[in-house]
Amino acid sequence: MGICTGQLNSALFYMHVIMEDHVHDEPKFFLCIPSNVTIGQFAAVVNKFLREHPESRNEDFNGIMTVAAAEAWPCL
C-alpha cells in the first residue's frame, strides 16, 4: 500500500508541475487537476477508473493514473 500511495503522490505532484509549466503555452491541455486535490481523492479517482475499465488493469499504472485524472478533471 505504501508503494501505491507513493506512486500516486509523485504522479499528482508531477501532474501539477506539468500543468503549471504548460498552462500558458497550450490552451487545450488535456487535464486540469485542482490544486487542492488530496492523495485520497486522487486514489478514489484511480480506483473508480479501474472499476469502470477493468480491461485497463494490465496496462502501465502511470498511464492509468494519467487517463483517470484526465477523465475526472478535463480542461474545459
pLDDT digits (tens, 9 = 90+) for 45-63: 999 999 999 999 898 888 8
What is the CA 67 to chain-centroid distance, rounded? 7
Residue 6's pLDDT is what? 72
Domain boundaries, the chain: 2-72
pLDDT score, position 19: 57
| Distance, CA of 57 to CA of 74 (rounded, Å) | 22
Amino acid code (one letter) for 63: G
pTM for the model: 0.71
Neighbours of 68 (CB within 10 A): 24
The confidence score (pLDDT) of residue 34 equals 85
| Residues 49, 64 contacting (CB under 8 angstroms) | yes
Mean pLDDT for each consecutive 10-residue tract of the chain (76 residues)?
Answer: 68 62 53 85 92 92 86 84
d(CA 44, CA 12): 13
Average pLDDT of the chain is: 77
Contact (CB, 8 A) for 57 and 67: no
What confidence score (pLDDT) does residue 1 get? Answer: 57
